[in-house]
Amino acid sequence: MSRLRAAWDRLWFAPAPTETLGLVRLFVGLTLVLKFTGVWGIYRGWGALNLRLPFHDGLQHGRFRLPVPGFDWLPPMTAASQRLWDGLALALAVLLTLGLGTRAVSVGLALLLLYALLESQFNYLHHVNVYVWVICIFALSPMGDHYSLDAVLRRLWARARGLRPVRPIRPILYQRMLQVFLSVLYLTTTIGKLTPDWFDGSIFGALANGGFLKGPFKATLLGLFPPMFMAWWTLFAESLLAVGLWHPKSRRVTAWCGVALHLGIDAMMNVTTFSYLMISLYLSFASPATGQTSLSVDPGQPLSRGLGLLVRALDWTQRIRLVSAPGPMRLHSPEGEVLGGVHALGRVLGLLPLTFMAGLWVDLGLGLLRRLRPPAPIG
Amino acid sequence: MGPPEQLALGPRARAAWSVALVLIFGLQIGLGLRSRLHDDDRYGFAMFHEFTRYKIDYQWRLVDGSARKFSFPVALPKRSAAVRGGRHQVEVFGAGTTRLQLRGALRYLWAAHRPDDAVAVEAVYRWRRNDHPEETVEQLRWPPEGGP
């Protein structure tokens, strides 16, 4: 019993830095801003960039109203209150992204989304449901410790009083809630798809006939990938995402599968910002500590100096600590690896949010190469 | 950023959080099970596991036992048009979703639009999964036989 309790405490209450929470908040907030401004959907081509401020979806019900059982007491949404809802939701999404008044904003946003979900059964959409869960977890968590205006203000406040700003170490609980939620979600959706129509791939033909697949890329993607492949790829990726993010060795490949899966969905289906939300949630598995990878660059060497500049410009999540040193470029990973040349370049690309996908390809390719021809030891 | 500051939870806060965690994830799993039991993907997380093509026809059951067909008497904008009836429609959340929404619609129709000579309102709900040809026909009624 005591061992079980110790394991429970380790799982939920082990101390951890909170940079990851800030990162997840920043990206999830951004997806909400995109949602409430109508900017989404690869399947829409350039039309995805049409900005609508705020995005107004129109009333879902008229005189016939169908609240979720037990929530008949909620005031019905009117055309005026829906416009207010839209404006307020966009304003709170912007504040959440900036991290200003983060806790209060998260609570406000959670209440707004919950109201929309419960006020009418016709308001239900999968991605709204996922947002409700995620923002409710945000409302219970300190999401503004990092990458936020709250953090900047706290630092200024501390300095004004001659105090040294501190880096909060909190229970890992908040990050774990996001991780467990994500895993249960993928597990449930995989179990739901264990049907004959998914096994034989006919679901994709049915989805196409039903008008669920759309956009200019539909024909190309359906031509490139047979329905059976698409169905099994979905089942494989979703089941992998339920477990693969937990282990450091499978994390990057799993995240890559998730990104590919959701970009594929976004290229053919109207799921608004659902794909971007799910991809953002993978960040909850990012190592919470920043600056644990160090890269030594030689300012005298053009390639080395260029990589240093790239890291300065694109390392928004502060994963890499730059060290200026003469000699060949060296990357020291948190796991104790020392990498040089293209191996270091591949790892750096994999750590930057914008080049994550390319970095994984380089890393995978080089990993295969390393197995065939191991590089000479460095350092 | 400065030195780390430990902000650990006390034993009582940990106990309270432990209970909250069991409730939160119990609810998530419970909603998933509910969606399987009711064939209604809403609020659970079984996304796009199937869709249904369906048609609804409404009728009043009259005192003399005959049936009188009718169209949904009020405008149903956007997604609430899912229960409009009289035409072929598609539902992405499962056959149970339409069934549950229809029960709500029948109660509304009975409460707000009942003619004097009606003893019940009925919906004939015909549906089939994905592209399968087999059709299921259900007759839903409010109030149920023998009273609500």
Are B77 and A61 in contact (CB < 8 Å)? yes
Domain boundary among the residues A233, A258, A285 is at A285
Q: Is the pLDDT of residue A202 over 70?
A: yes
Q: Is the pLDDT of residue B65 over 60?
A: yes
Asked whether residue A181 falls in the same domain as residue A110, the answer is yes
Please identify which residue in the block is written with the tokens 């359906």.
Answer: A222
pLDDT digits (tens, 9 = 90+) for A209-236: 888 899 989 989 988 999 999 999 999 9
Q: Is the pLDDT of residue A299 over 90?
A: no
- The confidence score (pLDDT) of residue B128 equals 95
Mean pLDDT (chain A) is 89
User: DSSP letters along B68-93, please?
Assistant: EEE--SS---GGGGGG--SSEEEESS
Asked whether residue A172 falls in the same domain as residue A71, the answer is yes
H or E segment to which residue B140 belongs:
strand B136-142
Domain boundary among the residues A285, A318, A338 is at A285
Asked whether residue A214 falls in the same domain as residue A308, the answer is no
Q: Is the pLDDT of residue A316 over 80?
A: no
Span B138-147, average pLDDT: 88
- The confidence score (pLDDT) of residue A55 equals 74
Residue A340: pLDDT band with limits 50, 70, 90: confident
- The confidence score (pLDDT) of residue A241 equals 97
Asked whether residue A187 falls in the same domain as residue A276, the answer is yes
Asked whether residue A255 falls in the same domain as residue A309, the answer is no
Chain A neighbors of B83, CB-CB under 8 A: 64
Residue A73: pLDDT band with limits 50, 70, 90: very high
Asked whether residue A342 falls in the same domain as residue A229, the answer is no
Span B46-58, average pLDDT: 93
Span B132-141, average pLDDT: 96
Say how far residue B139 (Cα) sits from the centre of its chain.
15
Are A59 and B42 in contact (CB < 8 Å)? no
- The confidence score (pLDDT) of residue A289 equals 63
User: Would A155 be classed as within a structural domain?
Assistant: yes
CA angle A28, A29, A31 (to 5 degrees): 65
pLDDT digits (tens, 9 = 90+) for A232-273: 999 999 999 999 999 988 888 899 899 999 999 999 999 999
The two most distant CA atoms of chain B are separated, in Å, by 83
Residue A110's region, left for phi above 0, alpha for psi from -120 to 50, else beta, is alpha
User: Would A11 be classed as within a structural domain?
Assistant: no
Q: A97 near A33, Cβ under 8 Å?
A: yes
Q: Is the pLDDT of residue A378 over 60?
A: no
Are B41 and A129 in contact (CB < 8 Å)? no
Least confident of A146-150, A257-261, A312-316: A312-316
Asked whether residue A329 falls in the same domain as residue A211, the answer is no
User: Would A194 be classed as within a structural domain?
Assistant: yes
- How much of chain A exceeds pLDDT 90, in percent? 57
pLDDT digits (tens, 9 = 90+) for A5-31: 999 999 999 999 898 899 899 999 999
Residue A59: pLDDT band with limits 50, 70, 90: confident
Higher-pLDDT residue of A49 and B43 is B43
Mapping DSSP to helix (H, G, I), strand (E, B) and coil, where does residue B126 land?
strand
CA distance A327 to chain B (A): 30
Asked whether residue A311 falls in the same domain as residue A236, the answer is no
What is residue A104's DSSP assignment?
A: H
Chain B neighbors of A150, CB-CB under 8 A: none
Q: Is the pLDDT of residue B141 over 80?
A: yes
Chain B neighbors of A268, CB-CB under 8 A: none
Query: How many structural domains does chain A have?
Result: 2
Mean pLDDT (chain B) is 92
Are A66 and B82 in contact (CB < 8 Å)? no
Q: B55 near B85, Cβ under 8 Å?
A: yes
- Nearest Cβ partner for A202 among B28, B78, B130: B130
Q: What are phi and psi of A362, to 5 degrees?
A: -60, -45
Asked whether residue A103 falls in the same domain as residue A130, the answer is yes
Q: What is the per-residue burial (b if ≥16 Cβ within 10 Å, else e) of A321-330?
A: eeeeeeeebb
Asked whether residue A216 falls in the same domain as residue A364, the answer is no
Cα(A355)–Cα(B142) distance, integer angstroms: 58
Q: Is the pLDDT of residue A70 over 60?
A: yes
Are A188 and B21 in contact (CB < 8 Å)? no
Q: What is the per-residue burial (b if ≥16 Cβ within 10 Å, else e) of A101-116?
A: bbeebbbbbbebbebb
Chain A neighbors of B80, CB-CB under 8 A: 60-62, 64, 66, 120, 122
Please state whether beta strands A167-171 and B4-6 pair in parallel, antiparallel, or not at all (unpaired).
Answer: parallel
- Nearest Cβ partner for B47 among A61, A126, A180: A126
Chain B neighbors of A165, CB-CB under 8 A: 1-2
Q: A96 near A25, Cβ under 8 Å?
A: yes
What is the extent of the structural domain holding A297? 293-372
What is the value of ipTM here, to two decimals? 0.93
Q: A34 near A40, Cβ under 8 Å?
A: yes
Q: Which residue of B has its CA nearest to A9?
A: B14
Chain A neighbors of B76, CB-CB under 8 A: 61-62, 64
Domain boundary among the residues A234, A253, A285 is at A285
Q: Is the pLDDT of residue A364 over 80?
A: no
CATH number at residue A313: 3.40.30
- Between chain A and chain B, the number of residue pairs with CB atoms below 8 A apart is 155
Q: Which residue of A has its CA nearest to B13?
A: A13
Q: What is the dihedral of CA B66, B69, B73, B75, to 10 degrees?
A: 150
Asked whether residue A162 falls in the same domain as residue A251, the answer is yes
